Amino acid sequence: MPSRFDAIADELYALPRDEFTSARTERAKQVKARRPDLAKRIARLRKPTVSAWLVNQVGRRHASEVEQLADLGGQLRSAHQKLAGDELRSLSRERNELIRRLSGFAGTIAAEAGVTYSDSAERQVEATFEAAVSDPDAAAEVRAGRLSGALTPSSSEDWLASALAASPRKRAPAPKKEPAPKKAREDPDAKRRQAALEEAREKADAAASARDEAHNTVEELTTRADEAGQTVADLRARLDEAVRDERAARKELFAARKAVTSAEKTANEARRRLSEMESFGRKR
């Protein structure tokens, strides 16, 4: 059975992205009085970026395909250990097709939600699914559906690329030799343009991720500032109430002391009169 925190986190990350912050604040307020530690954990949950939100929704709606992606990672690692080149290539093609299908699901979800599925978001979604293939921990995060940011394939995925490059292929029968056609002259400018384009894409993706993180940070700090302001307001209200209680208590204390003084005066007067009467009676 999931913990209270896990249940709330699952609920929040399943919501439409634009409802996350307000719902998070509301849930934190609901548990703050009885569970301040839980309220703090809830308040620290980060709003997902667009790409992370889409991956989370794909994981919820297409859990079997995401599970298949994780299984493919295990099969690829096994094939790599066995140096099974043909199996590696077959599984790699299957992986690519599955990632494209999952990316398509993300595009459909984005369209339904009115969310822009930009080229940058699409690349981040696909990179996250690629990370799930190469890293079991990443696969577990994707399955959990509570990502706040996109994942990137780590250097651990290099084993797959190197394995595919190094695996021997079955050679087809050598064709009869014919005069080799003249090679087209390579255009060095085209190569430079392509390299510059790839670099620009990487920078655009990094800038988009940084922008999303900055937006999330602003939202989180705004929430924390609002909560701190509310706490200050609550403490001031309690202080004002305590000051009023103190003043009322002091007034009551003053009145009680006056009553004590009056009662003592009355008692002293009564004792004096009693003493006089007793003295007069003895004389008679």
Q: Where are the domains of the chain?
A: 1-47, 50-167, 235-284
pLDDT at 125 over 50: yes
Whether pTM > 0.75 for this model: the answer is: no
Burial class (CB in 10 A: 0-12, 13-18, 19+), 167: middle
pLDDT at 63 over 90: yes
pLDDT tens column, 270-281: 888 888 787 877
Which residue reads 């093609």 in tokens?
93
13-27, 242-256, 269-283: the lowest-pLDDT one = 269-283
pLDDT at 89 over 90: no
- pLDDT confidence of residue 178: 52
Angle between helices 158-166 and 119-134 in degrees, nearest 10: 80
pLDDT at 184 over 80: no
pLDDT at 242 over 60: yes
pLDDT tens column, 222-239: 656 766 776 677 678 778
Residue 155: DSSP 8-state: G
**Do 49 and 149 meet the contact criterion of CB atoms below 8 Å apart?**
yes
**pLDDT mean over 173-200:** 62
Q: How far is CA 24 from CA 14, 48, 118, 213, in A?
A: 12, 12, 26, 17
Q: Distance (Å, rounded) from C-alpha 19 to C-alpha 227?
A: 18
